[in-house]
Amino acid sequence: MQQVMEQQLSPQELQKLRNNRTGLFVLQVSWILVFVSLIVINLATRVNYPSWPPPGVSEPPVALPIIATLALFGSSVLVQRGYTAFTQGNRRALVRQWTGTLLLGLLFIAIITYEWLNVPENAGLYGQLFRLMTAFHAAHALAIGLFVLRTLRRVASGAYDQKNFWTVEATLKLWHFVTLAWTLFFVVLYII
């Protein structure tokens, strides 16, 4: 359906769309490099300790982070379903799906904030890295969540259509980025 939408564009509009997509891709690559850098710092720090977390620091329970991760995966499904509905001309479905995306995103932020606040005081460098990584991701999720909200409100008001859809597409891609980045952090912070 996206190809049908693209066929409605003039050559100049199509070139602008391609430029926008390239720009967003470059932005996402630069962001993922920062996320990967934080992962590398975390892993490089671990090699200096006989165990991780260090002795005297308990591992964080994983039940809430698993719920947060599942909420984020669910929100990605909803954001995709909403976008697909939009490409088929169904604004109302996008509004419903993206409202669910935002609610699940808020659940994610609430859980990660709780996790951030409950790092033990004696956690040292482990706690600092944990807080840095979770706060960095939460800040991105919050900012992109606000972008989802802005786009959602504009879709509901009729600002976007099958010929003017770039912002909706970009919002979708940014939210999927939030999910991908958290998946990487989740593995590093809670699994390995």
- Whole-prediction pTM: 0.87
Please give the Cα distance from 72 to 69 (Å, whole number): 5
Note the pLDDT tens digit of each residue in 120-170.
888 889 999 999 999 999 999 999 999 999 999 999 998 887 777 889 999
Instruction: Report the chain (192 residues): mean pLDDT per 10 consecutive residues.
Output: 65 83 90 94 92 85 95 97 93 96 96 92 89 94 95 92 85 95 95 89
CA 144 to chain centre: 7
CATH topology of domain 2-191: Four Helix Bundle (Hemerythrin (Met), subunit A) (1.20.120)
Helix axes 124-156, 11-46, angle to 10 degrees: 160
